Amino acid sequence: MSSLYEILGVDPSATQDDIKRAYRKLALKHHPDKVEESVRVESEALFKEISTAYEILSDEVKRSQYDIYGDTDGVPNRNGSGGGVPGFGFDFDDENPYGADEFFNFFNNHHQQRTSRPPKERKTPDAVMEMEITLHDLYKGKVIKVSSTRSTICSKCSGSRLRKNADSNSMMKCMFCHGSGMKRAMRPVQNGWAIEEYIDCSHCDGSGLRIQPKFKCKKCSGTGCVEESKILEFNIPRGSANEGEIILEGESDEKPNYKPGNVILKYTTKAHEYLERKGNNLHTIWKLPLSDCLTGFDYKPSIKTLDGRFLMVNSPTGKVITPTTVLKVPNEGMPILDQGRNWLFKQNSKGDLYIKIEIEFPKDNWFIERNEITKLRLLLSHDSSSSKNEISEGDLNNAIYAANIEFQ
């Protein structure tokens, strides 16, 4: 495992002039613009490491920290003799199943008793997508197919990132964490406070080691993963809720030593033109002319259902439909989702459809002859002897006649 001095090919006691000369020589030799196309990728990685080594060793402060700790941030090398956090007798090496994060959690939760538990499982991030569907999709059920590209473990190196001829010299110290496998990070806590903690280096996945360019697997370029395209299918069963999520476990990116995360589809439902869902029932409004509400009508189409049928409704003569009338049509609502119910559950069970009547009144001055009003009043007259608003002749003396009334 190479140190910064070994990368530049100088002795730890080298002067600044020695370091500068070594850097210029190596930079000229490995600059990506001065090498053949076939080795450009390897040269880019090596050139970056040379530049990082020079950046640290050419700075007296950073060089001093590196010489003491093995890290310019003052983080001891995980594999060195001083491994751990300066000033504490804890060693965050590979035998510690909890790592630095658990170390700081110990102090954050000192009032709680620490118990033995298995190591925290590392997992790649979940992939989340959002989509809007229709009420018709929920009524019939829907399968959503999505083209997806994700990282999968390389089949050639099985995630090791190494060529077959790799040996013990194929690994070198990570230049980003300087072999510690950790990087400093600030984690916000309540009341504006933050806690300094150490997290796995993203460049070496916490190992503290990087692969020498010439030993990297050619198929995955030393990443351990290759891209894979596939079609994902999300099944939304008929009768599902208006919003929810479908989870495909383990379908997110793969990564060596990580459990693959999930792919999650979050869906919402677009408002329907004339139907509103409440639970498993559907509600709608049907406009009827006043004449039909008073005289009745033969079968006529009311609304179109979500499966394309027209509901035919009639009202017998003599049945008066009022503004508070609601028609209930059994088993014409949403399918009831089968959630593992017992054998009595009917597979085709549905909620109900509720149709609220909205009466369309004629416009002002709709009549032609004056006597039409008299005829209509006689036809619609009824016995009001039991009216609660009955008033005697004597009460008229105390009556108040309202003025400037607006009908809205």
Residue range of the domain that includes 146: 122-161+220-270
> Does residue 385 lie within any of the structural domains?
no
Residue 325 lies in a domain: yes
In-domain check, residue 132: yes
For residues 266 and 126, state if they share a domain. yes
Can you read off the two tokens belonging to residue 176?
């980003």
Please report whether residue 74 resides in a domain. no
**What's the gap between Cα 203 and its chain centre?**
26
What amino acid is encoded at 337 in this protein?
L
Residue 254 lies in a domain: yes
Query: Do 181 and 155 sit in the same domain of this protein?
Result: no
* Residue 312: CATH number of its domain: 2.60.260.20
Total of domains in the chain: 3
Distance CA 265, CA 379 (A): 61
H/E stretch holding 130: strand 127-133
Which tops the pLDDT comparison, 385 or 256?
A: 256
Is residue 62 assigned to a domain? Answer: no
Residues 135 and 259 in one domain: yes
Q: How many CB atoms lie within 10 A of CB 280?
A: 15
Let me know: does 332 contact 311? Beta carbons within 8 Å.
yes
Q: Can you give the pLDDT at residue 390?
A: 57
In the predicted model, is pLDDT for residue 364 greater than 50?
yes
Looking at residue 2, what is its pLDDT? 60
What integer best gives the mean pLDDT of the chain?
A: 78
Q: Left if phi > 0, otherwise alpha if psi is -120 to 50, otherwise beta: which for 275?
A: beta
Assess whether 302 and 184 both reside in one domain: no
Predicted pLDDT of residue 278: 95
Shared domain for 131 and 256, answered yes or no, is yes
Instruction: Report whether pLDDT(93) > 50.
Output: no
> Hey, is 365 helix, strand or coil?
coil
Of 135-139, 344-348, 380-384, which has the strongest mean pLDDT?
135-139
Rounded to two decimals, the pTM is 0.60
